[in-house]
Chains A and B, each alone.
Chain A
């Protein structure tokens, strides 16, 4: 295990698995967001349900905190391996080319690192805004619908959000396929299909996330 962690391939496997955990969460989060289109009751009720989930076993908000701990672990592993690999990559080419032209690497592949940084910064703001409510203009716990619409009522917050979820889409497009490759699941036969699936998942997730701020900006949600 230690040897695996030391190797670049092992680090990529850790990155792939932690990324998969985060991706599953992101999918659930996006689907839950759509509840906002069914009204305040639906969204707030869902939030309440989530906090009460398995309360007799884990206590109020127990499941939520377990999920948060798991997410934090994934984020830490994902970022640690990313930073270590990025530093290795930098060290592997101390003198760069004067003239360099990328031939193949897609836009999403090239923006993984800075895109990831943008997403991380956004997540910090997003947690302070919606989860903790400290930078939210409404900021009343349990009033998820009002908190969200109040937040997106400020166009610059909506724009930041849309930028971040677009970056997330690019990140997933390369990251999801790349995870299959890092884990050795992608083969010559499966590659095209896996790439197409990654693109599809990225587009659906981004579209789902974009729908909420757009609805608030256009007055569909108030």
Chain B
């Protein structure tokens, strides 16, 4: 396959950056998107140019490190698929593919396609945990959990923190991520004591970090590689409002 890549190149956070065009002559349809970038980087290194910086780790769709805006869609054209799990067979010979980093004020570009997502860590630190005395692990059946709650909590826990929801949101909101974390803990018995304060604290941090507000457009769910449903945001809203009415 022949492809024309247009890749965002930016030396550092303060650099202006620009789109640079790279023709690719011999792309195998069996390559993953990241392998295709590896091939490009090898060529760049051989030519003595700077390789394109991009984030990745597991390359099997579970770590959440990879994240690219591919032709204007977070993680590319395939639904419920991370960029690392996207294969080149989903593109056609002769295509032009534009690759950009996530764009949001709380996600500054570090270099090329790499953004700093530690804003997510700040949100987690503010409430994405349970306070419990640790010790030896309790028996698995010591605390009964209703099956539907367990399923919904598990579904929310599948969030890998990739940031695609923020990248796709027209408001630059991280509500889907925040809601996934709050739902995951708020539905389980262990998460109950801090349920309302958690919602409040996480949303406050979310807002302070400069993420936008949710307008329920659903762009986030559509690109989320784990298919976190939009209802999780409704659940977070409900927890936050209920907590505010209680206090």
Instruction: Give the B-binding residues of A (Cβ under 8 A).
Output: 1, 3-4, 6-13, 85, 88-89, 91-106, 109-110, 112, 174, 177-178, 180-188, 191
Contacts and interface: CB of A to CB of B under 8 A. Distances in A.
B19 A98 contact: yes
A80 to B, nearest CB: 13
A98 B19 CA distance: 9
B187 interface: no
B231 A191 contact: yes
A1 B200 CA distance: 12
Nearest to A108: B217
5 tightest A-B CB contacts, nearest first: A184-B238, A92-B172, A8-B213, A89-B171, A104-B222
Contacts of B212: 8, 85, 88-89, 91-93
Given A98-B6, A178-B216, 12 more contacts: A6-B207, A7-B207, A88-B213, A92-B105, A92-B106, A95-B103, A97-B69, A97-B100, A98-B100, A103-B168, A103-B222, A188-B231
Contacts of B210: 91-92
B170 interface: yes
A8 to B, nearest CB: 3
Contacts of A110: 170, 217
Given A9-B236, A9-B240, A110-B170, A103 B105 contact: no
Given A3-B244, A9-B237, A186-B234, A101 B213 contact: no
Most central of A8, A92, A110, A180 by chain B CB within 10 Å: A92
Contacts of B218: 104-105, 109
7 contacts: A12-B214, A88-B212, A97-B103, A101-B73, A104-B219, A174-B216, A184-B238
Classify chain B's interface size.
35 or more
A89 B173 contact: yes
Most central of A1, A96, A103, A182 by chain B CB within 10 Å: A103
Contacts of B203: 7-9
A94 B246 CA distance: 37
Contact of A183 (B72, B175, B238): B238
Nearest to B232: A188
A91 B237 contact: no
Interface in B192-240: 200, 203-204, 206-207, 210-219, 221-223, 229-231, 233-240
A99 B241 CA distance: 37
B231 to A, nearest CB: 4
Given A181-B234, A186-B234, A97 B72 contact: yes
Contacts of A174: 216
A112 B204 contact: no
A13 B219 CA distance: 21
Nearest to A6: B207
A10 B244 contact: yes
Contacts of A186: 231, 234
A105 B217 contact: yes
Most central of A89, A93, A185 by chain B CB within 10 Å: A93
B241 A9 contact: yes
A125 B211 CA distance: 36
Nearest to B8: A98
B104 interface: yes
A186 B215 CA distance: 14
Given A103-B73, A183-B238, A8 B207 contact: yes
Nearest to A84: B213
Given A95-B103, A110-B217, A177-B216, A8 B173 contact: yes
Interface in B1-40: 6, 8, 19
